[in-house]
């Protein structure tokens, strides 16, 4: 779940070293807004300066003016570095657990009924961050789906930040981040890490096998065709402006099967008339059509 970094920059970054000027901040705001849909208000200036200070050091650049010139010349390659630098990813296992309870109680059972002939089930974790969300989806599905007949079940997990996608793909988590995973689930789906991964839980291959991790900018072309039975896009749209949110929700509706579900974050909502959705639970929307009308 990529969000704007919320932590303040180091105290010395505001007083020492290169300073982010008006022109450079406006340019960075424009680039980030156009390419990632993230709105950087004037109050985010010190935050951006602090987050990009490390990037300047990594590139050996003396100023933010030099960085902006580098960004213009490097193009898409450095755009990834910029987005990775100014975003942070706050998530945990079974965060907003009511979504996973709903997935088990009616989302997956309805999808199984709807797709009884093909036994094809698809879920998209859009803004997967470091992977906790798709792994939770995979755990729930393993508990709900029957062993026989087997279902063609796949999870697509995407994020704009290539660094967190790499972390998610590894499936390795410090044990102190596993407190919200029950002991039964921990034993069933994870193994104890050894060597350099001592003190970590490592996702078992059975848990990982249903998940495909990819880097994806939600504002760009989507290469997948769908349809999806459930889409999770939680705590992502809050950082977009209203027109971008409305366009994104409309695109999600096009990717969902009739009767499919969209789960959004606790501080997000979909305005009536924006897309063919009906609110059916706390931040849970069902696309019109399908078994439920």
List the catalytic residues.
Answer: 51, 159
Residue environment code for 259-278, b if the CB has 16+ CB neighbours within 10 A, otherwise e: bbbbbbbeebebeeebbebe
8 A C-beta contact, residue 166 and residue 192: no
The DSSP call for residue 43 is: G
Tokens of 273: 């008339």
Q: Who's near 240: CB < 8 A, 6+ residues apart? A: 37, 38, 39, 248
Residue 164 sits at the vertex; the CA angle it makes with 251 and 28, to the nearest 5 degrees, is 70
8 A C-beta contact, residue 187 and residue 242: no
Per-residue H/E/C for 168-206:
HHHCEEEHHHCCCCCHHHHHHHEEECCHHHCCEEEECHH
Q: What is the dihedral of CA 124, 126, 127, 132, to 10 degrees?
A: -10
The DSSP call for residue 237 is: G
The full length of the chain comes to 293
Q: Who's near 123: CB < 8 A, 6+ residues apart? A: 137, 141, 154, 155, 156, 228, 229, 230, 231, 232
Q: For the sheet containing 190-192, what is the strand order? A: 172-174, 200-203, 190-192
């Amino acid at each position: 779940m990529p969000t704007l970094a919320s932590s303040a920059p180091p105290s010395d970054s505001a007083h020492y070293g290169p300073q982010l000027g008006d022109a450079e901040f406006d340019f960075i705001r424009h680039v980030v807004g156009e390419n990632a849909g993230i709105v950087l208000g004037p109050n985010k200036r010190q935050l951006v300066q602090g987050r990009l200070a490390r990037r300047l050091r990594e590139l050996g650049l003396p100023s933010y003016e030099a960085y902006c010139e580098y960004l213009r010349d490097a193009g898409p390659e450095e755009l990834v570095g910029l987005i990775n630098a100014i975003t942070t990813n706050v998530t945990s296992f079974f965060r907003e657990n009511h979504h996973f309870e709903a997935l088990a109680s009616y989302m997956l059972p309805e999808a199984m009924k709807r797709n009884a002939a093909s036994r094809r089930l698809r879920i998209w974790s859009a803004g997967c961050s470091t992977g906790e969300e798709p792994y939770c989806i995979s755990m729930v599905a393993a508990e709900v789906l029957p062993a026989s007949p087997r279902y063609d079940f796949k999870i697509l997990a995407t994020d704009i930040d290539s660094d967190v996608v790499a972390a998610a793909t590894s499936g390795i988590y410090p044990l102190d981040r596993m407190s919200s995973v029950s002991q039964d689930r921990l034993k069933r789906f994870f193994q104890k890490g050894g060597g350099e991964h001592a003190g970590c839980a490592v996702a078992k291959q059975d848990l990982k096998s249903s998940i495909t991790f990819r880097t994806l900018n939600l504002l760009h072309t989507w290469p997948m065709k769908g349809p999806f039975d459930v889409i999770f896009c939680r705590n992502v749209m809050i950082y977009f402006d209203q027109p971008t949110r409305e366009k994104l929700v409309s695109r999600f509706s096009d990717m969902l099967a009739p009767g499919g579900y969209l789960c959004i974050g606790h501080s997000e909502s979909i305005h009536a008339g924006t897309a063919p959705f009906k609110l059916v639970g706390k931040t849970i929307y069902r696309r019109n059509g399908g078994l439920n009308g």
